[in-house]
Structure 1
């Protein structure tokens, strides 16, 4: 997971995981996101410590942590507070990051 930068926050599209360091539920959510990145062998999510960014939290009306903020076309599309399970997170990835599910030419499925 990549630490978000001010420059990245200006981009039109990103998936931002917002957490606080001593939040047990945040640690569980992070484990799910880390597993997804491991499967896809790439950084998919950016991360932000909510404690260090109170202005961002107010501006985007983040109600609690953990939160997966989904921004696309310059607008917040969704805020996921209930991570529930890895398959649940995949429903958002299929909607907002479909390129993760396109096989590249010449790739084969491993059995």
Structure 2
């Protein structure tokens, strides 16, 4: 997963298909979710995975109506396809991402 900063966000949003994982550093659940996503990232080498600390993205949470972290955003053809808060398992995340065509 590639860490992105606020100034990289506009260019990222121009990509057709990608996964954006939003977290905060002191969120314990986020640490577990990150480990699960790293496994999925390894199994889907053709999918672009990014992560961002929501603390450094002012306004982004409101714009995309992010209610909590961890949050997984799946973008396909430049559109938000899925917003997922519950990271149930590696298998669940894999199927969620593949289902949305990423």
* TM-score after normalising by structure 1: 0.78
CA, structure 1 residues 14+41, in 2 after alignment: closer, same or farther (shift >3 Å)?
closer
Residue 18 of structure 2 corresponds to which residue in structure 1?
14
Give the CA deviation at 1:95: 1.4
Within-5 A mapping of 1:73-88: 73-88=77-92
Displacement of 1:53 in angstroms is: 0.5
* Whole-angstrom CA distance in 2 between matches of 1:86 and 1:40: 12
SS of the equivalent of 2:93 reads: helix
Counterpart pick for 2:67 among 59, 63, 68? 63
Does the 8 Å CA contact 1:2/1:43 hold for their aligned counterparts?
no
> Tell me, which stretches of 5 or more residues in structure 2 are unaligned?
none
Question: Cα distance, 1:44 vs. partner?
Answer: 3.8
Distance 1:61 1:77 in 2: 14
> Unaligned stretches of 5+ in structure 1?
99-111
Equivalent pairs counted in the alignment come to 98
Of the candidates 28, 34, 38, which is equivalent to residue 42 of structure 2?
Answer: 38
Structure showing greater Rg = 1
Name the TM-score, length of structure 2 as normaliser: 0.84
2:58 alignment partner in structure 1: 54
Q: Which has the higher contact order (CA 8 A, sep 6+)?
A: 2
